[in-house]
Amino acid sequence: MTDLKNKAAKKSGFNRRDFFRGSGAIAAATALQTQTADAFQDQSPQIISGETTITLNVNGKDHQVKAEPRTTLLEVLRYQLDLTGAKPVSSDGSSGASTIFVDGKPMTASTILALQAAGKKIETVESLGGDAVQQAFVKYDAEQCGFCTPGFVMAVRSFLNKKPNASEAEIRSGLNGNICRCGTYANIVEAAISVAKGGN
Amino acid sequence: MKAFEYASPRTEAEVVQLLSAEPGKTEILAGGTDLVGLMKKMIVTPDRVVNIMDVPTLKSIDELPDGSVSIGATVTLDDILAHPYLDVYPAIKQAIRGISSMQLQAQGTLGGEVCQRPRCWFYRNGDGLLSQGVAEGANEFHAILGNSGPAKFVNSSRIAPALIALDAQLRVLGPDDAEQFVPLAEFFRSPQREGQREHVLAPNQFVSHIVLPPIEGRTCATYEVRHGEGPDYPLAAAAAALRLNGFGIVQDANVVLGQVAPMPWISQEAIAVLRGRKVDVALAEAAGEAAVSRATPLSQNEYKVQLAKVAVKRAILLAAGYETGGF
């Protein structure tokens, strides 16, 4: 436990709470960005409110986008960068239709704030043009209405990256984060199996 | 979503400084898999969101000098699965595998999983945590134990039962550099009035680490009863941790049920049945019976009594190294 205690004992000389007390708390919080007196200013957290411009690295390119704290990554991708592959379906991530890769890991863009994604490597389904998974979805007719498809393509790609020779049972359980309301699971699994067998 | 301020502190002290002492004003954001959805539905409407994902000290899994393992609150579930130190706690890995969604495992954090809000559909539809509607009907997924008070939802955490069975402690930080260690067994509570949280922390305290004591010869397991193999939450679950002597006699036991009460439910009845006895199928079954002996099902969830009983039985058998049979 000593390690943890030592960690906790380290504290910066700058006490933000005192600053809040002396300055009318939350109303003045944005002013924090401009205060200059403190030596630790570079390390102190910015409090962001309202729209700001951030840089997002999407599919290998940096983009300047505008985001409020409440703007989701999905909204930025779809409505500012015109990357409409990831879909807004469940709004809480439970459908998996907004699945993208963040630093290589599958995540749902609908439950990530755009500001959280700054500085991370974001990949969308648009980056998988020509990928074996995309081709297999076409070949095995793995979509009906198509809304869940981009999320499933990303999920299959991600799962097979981790387990290239996955069995059918592993694929079925690996795709548990995605839902298809049309129920075209059989074809999706077939497509995934074909890629696993092809070794891509 | 209501507009809010956003801050991404770099140190634990800064996190505390950014939190308001007033309930509902600030929320802690980690993976976002629960909070962002709740904010979209305006069920949670903070003035400020404090993202703790950029605090380096919250991100690591460390072995402490006494053999305990400390897991930072923002360690993701897939990182726990991949971590070799944690193989000695199979109950935790089994619970995480049960979550099964790759996205939840990659994005979700241990702190967030433990602190997630109830999945009660009355709550998620804006009727509040203590909706009167629960007693009237549509309560098939609600509590069968500890439901005599106003709270009838079930605690949704799938890892907390295992953590409690293993005597985990939470490292909690608060104002004025206050650091305390709270046994997870004492962390949850059943809210008595609307607006009260499901745990005992003040609004300006937060969970920084989860500390697991050394396994020291104990065995453990989690067993979930699910509707199918899909992504839904289990209908009932149990975690068991056992210390057996050389003859297979239970010297010490912990049995914690999930998804059956407003908090993870420590079953003293099941523990009493196990102590001093040799684990076999009959004993595990008796412990399951004991665990639900005080169940008070609501109008539509009597079926959960049987499922909870089976979950306890199978968690115990799994922990003791028996085959459990079936799914």
Residues 27-46 of A with CB under 8 A from B: 29-30, 43-46
The whole-angstrom separation of Cα B317 and Cα B177 is: 44
pLDDT for A30: 37
Residues 129-158 of B with CB under 8 A from A: none
pLDDT for A3: 46
Cβ neighbours of B100 in A, within 8 Å: 173, 176-177
- Domain match, A159 and A116 both: no
For residue B147, is pLDDT > 60? yes
CB of A161 within 8 Å of a chain B CB? The answer is: no
Q: Model confidence over B75-121: pLDDT tens digits?
A: 999 999 999 989 999 999 999 999 999 999 999 999 999 999 999 99
Q: Is residue A1 part of a domain?
A: no
Q: How many CB atoms lie within 10 A of CB B126?
A: 10
CB of B228 within 8 Å of a chain A CB? The answer is: no
CB of B60 within 8 Å of a chain A CB? The answer is: no
Q: What is the arrangement of strands in the sheet containing B178-183, beginning at the earlier edge strand?
A: B61-63, B69-72, B206-212, B169-174, B178-183
Q: Assess contact for B306 and B236: CB atoms under 8 A.
A: no
pLDDT for B246: 87
Q: Is residue A6 part of a domain?
A: no
The whole-angstrom separation of Cα B87 and Cα B98 is: 16
Is B47 within 8 Å of A179 when comparing Cβ atoms? no
pLDDT for A177: 96
CB of B211 within 8 Å of a chain A CB? The answer is: yes
In CATH, what number is assigned to the domain containing residue A175?
A: 1.10.150.120
- Domain match, A180 and A134 both: yes
pLDDT for B324: 62
Residues 120-149 of A with CB under 8 A from B: none
Cβ neighbours of B12 in A, within 8 Å: 7-8
Cβ neighbours of A49 in B, within 8 Å: 3-6
Which tokens in the block code for residue B231?
Answer: 């992504």
For A30, the domain range is 14-39
In CATH, what number is assigned to the domain containing residue A60?
A: 3.10.20.30
The whole-angstrom separation of Cα A17 and Cα B8 is: 16
pLDDT for B85: 87
Is A29 within 8 Å of B100 when comparing Cβ atoms? no
Last residue of some domain: A124, A149, A166? A124
The whole-angstrom separation of Cα B133 and Cα B147 is: 14
pLDDT for A199: 60
Show Cβ contacts of residue B56 under 8 Å, excluding neighbours closer than 6 positions: B10
Q: Model confidence over B261-308: pLDDT tens digits?
A: 999 999 999 999 999 999 999 999 999 999 999 999 999 999 999 999
Which of B319, B286, B320 minimizes the C-alpha distance to B95? B319
For residue B327, is pLDDT > 90? no
Task: Please report, to the nearest 10 degrees, the dihedral formed by the alpha carbons of residues A167, A170, A176, A178 taken in order.
Answer: -30
Q: Is residue A143 part of a domain?
A: yes
Q: Is residue A166 part of a domain?
A: yes
pLDDT for B326: 43
**Token pair 């000098």: residue:** B65
Which of B8, B62, B7, B14 minimizes the C-alpha distance to B177? B14
Would the CA dihedral through B129, B71, A110, A188 be positive or negative? negative
Q: Model confidence over A138-191: pLDDT tens digits?
A: 999 999 999 999 999 999 999 999 999 999 999 999 999 999 999 999 999 999
- Domain match, A194 and A148 both: yes
Cβ neighbours of B39 in A, within 8 Å: 70
For residue B156, is pLDDT > 70? yes
CB of A17 within 8 Å of a chain B CB? The answer is: yes
The whole-angstrom separation of Cα A147 and Cα B255 is: 43
Is A177 within 8 Å of B100 when comparing Cβ atoms? yes
- Domain match, A30 and A92 both: no
Is A115 within 8 Å of B51 when comparing Cβ atoms? yes
For residue A10, is pLDDT > 80? no
- Domain match, A114 and A174 both: no
For residue A11, is pLDDT > 80? no
In total, how many domains does chain A have?
Answer: 3
Q: How many CB atoms lie within 10 A of CB B23?
A: 12
Is B5 within 8 Å of A49 when comparing Cβ atoms? yes
SS3 content of chain B, % helix, strand, coil (to 5): 30, 20, 50
Is B37 within 8 Å of A92 when comparing Cβ atoms? yes
Q: Model confidence over A155-169: pLDDT tens digits?
A: 999 999 999 999 999
Q: Is residue A152 part of a domain?
A: yes
Query: B5-7 and B26-29 as β-strands: parallel, antiparallel, unpaired?
Result: unpaired
Q: Model confidence over A22-68: pLDDT tens digits?
A: 333 333 333 333 333 343 344 567 899 999 999 999 999 999 999 99
CB of B170 within 8 Å of a chain A CB? The answer is: no
- Domain match, A91 and A33 both: no
pLDDT for A200: 57
Is A115 within 8 Å of B6 when comparing Cβ atoms? yes
Task: Please report, to the nearest 10 degrees, the dihedral formed by the alpha carbons of residues B51, B54, B55, B58 taken in order.
Answer: 90
Last residue of some domain: A108, A124, A140? A124
Is B6 within 8 Å of A3 when comparing Cβ atoms? no
Residue B216 class from Cβ within 10 Å (0-12 exposed, 13-18 middle, 19+ buried)?
Answer: exposed
Q: Which helix (H) or strand (E) holds A194?
A: helix A185-198
Q: Assess contact for B305 and B292: CB atoms under 8 A.
A: yes
Q: How many CA atoms lie within 13 A of A56 on its CB side?
A: 25
Q: Model confidence over B229-240: pLDDT tens digits?
A: 888 999 999 999
Which of A179, A174, A182 minimizes the C-alpha distance to A156? A174
pLDDT for A46: 86
pLDDT for A45: 72
Q: Model confidence over B19-69: pLDDT tens digits?
A: 999 999 999 999 999 999 999 999 999 999 999 999 999 999 999 999 999
For residue A1, is pLDDT > 60? no
Per DSSP, the three-state class of B252 is: strand
Which ipTM did the prediction report? 0.95
Q: Is residue A182 part of a domain?
A: yes
The whole-angstrom separation of Cα A81 and Cα A65 is: 8
* N-to-C CA span, chain A: 46
Q: Is residue A61 part of a domain?
A: yes
CB of B230 within 8 Å of a chain A CB? The answer is: yes
Q: Assess contact for A188 and A180: CB atoms under 8 A.
A: yes
Q: Is residue A95 part of a domain?
A: yes
pLDDT for A4: 52
- Domain match, A22 and A73 both: no
- Domain match, A133 and A193 both: yes
The whole-angstrom separation of Cα A43 and Cα B285 is: 57
Show Cβ contacts of residue A116 under 8 Å, excluding neighbours closer than 6 positions: A73, B8, B29, B32, B51, B53
Q: Which helix (H) or strand (E) holds B257?
A: strand B250-258
The whole-angstrom separation of Cα B225 and Cα A198 is: 36
- Domain match, A120 and A59 both: yes
**Token pair 């998996």: residue:** A96
